[in-house]
């Protein structure tokens, strides 16, 4: 249930925005609404509804991942804290902060001018950009990488990771290629091409949380699949839904639509079966 928290408005509250508190993993977070805008990934152009992000029952098992194969890269040891996540709901698109103790990752950066909103989302869980070590733009579309330069300037200790095929078009450098199976800060990169050639998702297996970018969208608690006119390769995009359906997760966070926080892998599997 959204919790209105007008008292947490920051100094930028004079701008025409409303703040909602959301709860993710028991953590108060902000949802920031910005004016609607046109972006590359969807056709509705409207604002998403406030999230109904109640606490999830998923718990961290804290079991260290083992790598019996050779993923493209494996880097970063995160502290043994339960995952906390927070959503910056920018209206049309959402970005996410994933945090373990005082170390955080950002997934997607929103449209240009979103860095302060993401900073307020960090503040909502007691962090700031100095805590951000890793930034994952899921794909090259402007509503996901529009603030990457601002975010990387603020998070000056962070490394950016993305799917190799999209990196050259992201307008920022350097970005480290994070191919399928890469494990970064305990997050596994899942190559999910088709919406764009280099689209990636990231999953925290311990917490059972998947950030799917635009590989799928959510609406009213349901999950829907790729839209052909927004896919660089529609068949590939559908195959990527099948890839996500192989995963086990409880919480699903997407670029467009509200989080699903209970047994989210079930509707994804149903979608994959229906495609």
Q: Which helix (H) or strand (E) holds 74?
A: strand 74-75
Q: Indicate left, alpha or beta for 102 from its phi (over 0: left) and psi (-120 to 50: alpha).
A: alpha
- Compute the least distance from the CB of residue 215 to Zn ion, in Å: 9
As a residue count, the chain comes to 275
Q: How many residues bind Zn ion (CB under 5 A)?
A: 3
Least gap, CB of 92 to Zn ion (angstroms):
11
Angle between helices 234-245 and 265-274 (to 10 degrees): 140
Q: Determine the Cα–Cα distance for residues 140 and 129; give it in Å rounded to an integer.
A: 22
Place of tokens 């098992």: 61
The nearer residue to Zn ion, 206 or 258, going by C-beta atoms, is 258
Interface stretch with Zn ion, choices 96-104, 133-141, 156-164, 231-239 (CB under 5 A): 133-141
Nearer to Zn ion, 41 or 111 (CB): 41
Strand order from edge to edge, sheet including 183-184: 74-75, 183-184, 187-191, 200-204, 209-211, 251-253
* Residue in 25, 134, 141, 256 binding Zn ion, rule: CB under 5 A: 141
How, if at all, do strands 74-75 and 83-89 pair? unpaired
Of the two residues 214 and 258, which places its CB atom closer to Zn ion in the complex? 214
Which one, 119 or 226, has the nearer CB to Zn ion? Answer: 226
Nearer to Zn ion, 87 or 141 (CB): 141
Taking the complex as a whole, the smallest distance from the CB of residue 75 to Zn ion amounts, in Å, to 26
CB 115 within 8 A of CB 135: no
Piece of 4-12, 135-143, 231-239, 265-273 that binds Zn ion (CB under 5 A): 135-143
108 touches Zn ion (CB under 5 A): no
According to the binding rule CB under 5 A, does residue 214 interact with Zn ion?
A: yes
Judged by CB under 5 A, the stretch of 15-23, 26-34, 38-46, 123-131 that binds Zn ion is: 38-46
Terminus-to-terminus CA distance in the chain, angstroms? 31
Beta carbon nearer to Zn ion, 23 or 148? 148
Which residue is at the shortest CB distance from Zn ion?
41
Alpha-carbon distance of 127 to 135, in angstroms, equals: 15
Q: Which tokens go with 142?
A: 């402007």
Helix (H) or strand (E) holding 192: none
State yes or no: residue 166 binds Zn ion (CB under 5 A): no
Give CA–CA dist 260/243, Å, rounded. Answer: 18
Q: Segment near Zn ion (CB under 5 A), from 22-30, 77-85, 110-118, 140-148?
A: 140-148
Residue 41 is a binding residue for Zn ion (CB under 5 A): yes
Q: Does 260 bind Zn ion (CB under 5 A)?
A: no
Closest CA to 180 of 192, 169, 195: 192
Paired with 28 in beta bridges are 23
Question: Rounded to the nearest whole angstrom, what is the least distance from the CB of residue 44 to Zn ion in the complex?
Answer: 13
Give the range of 16-24, 79-87, 213-221, 262-270 binding Zn ion by CB under 5 A: 213-221
* Separation between Cα atoms, residue 259 and residue 249, nearest integer Å: 12
Residues that bind Zn ion (CB under 5 A): 41, 141, 214
């Amino acid at each position: 249930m959204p919790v209105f928290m007008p008292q947490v408005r920051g100094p930028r509250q004079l701008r025409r925005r409303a703040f909602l508190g959301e709860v993710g993993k028991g953590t108060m977070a902000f949802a920031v609404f910005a004016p609607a805008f046109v972006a590359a990934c969807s056709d509705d152009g409207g604002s998403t509804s406030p999230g109904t992000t109640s606490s999830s029952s998923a718990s961290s098992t804290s079991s260290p991942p083992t790598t019996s194969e050779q993923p493209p890269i494996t880097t970063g040891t995160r502290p043994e804290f339960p995952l906390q996540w927070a959503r910056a709901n920018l209206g049309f698109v959402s970005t996410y902060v994933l945090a373990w103790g005082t170390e955080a990752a950002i997934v997607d950066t929103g449209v240009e001018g979103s860095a302060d909103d993401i900073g307020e989302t960090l503040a909502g869980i007691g962090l700031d950009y100095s805590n951000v070590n890793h930034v994952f733009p899921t794909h090259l579309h402007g509503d996901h990488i529009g603030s990457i330069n601002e975010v990387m300037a603020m998070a000056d200790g962070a490394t950016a990771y993305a799917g190799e095929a999209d990196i050259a078009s992201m307008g920022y450098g350097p970005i480290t290629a994070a191919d399928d199976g890469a494990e970064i800060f305990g997050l596994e990169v899942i190559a999910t091409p088709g919406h764009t050639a280099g689209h990636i998702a990231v999953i925290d297996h311990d917490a059972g949380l998947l950030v799917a970018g635009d590989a799928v969208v959510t609406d009213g608690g349901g999950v829907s699949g790729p839209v052909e006119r927004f896919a660089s390769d529609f068949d590939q995009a559908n195959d990527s839904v099948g890839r996500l359906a192989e995963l086990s997760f409880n919480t699903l966070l997407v670029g467009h639509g509200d989080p699903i926080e209970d047994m989210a892998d079930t509707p994804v599997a149903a979608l994959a079966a229906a495609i």
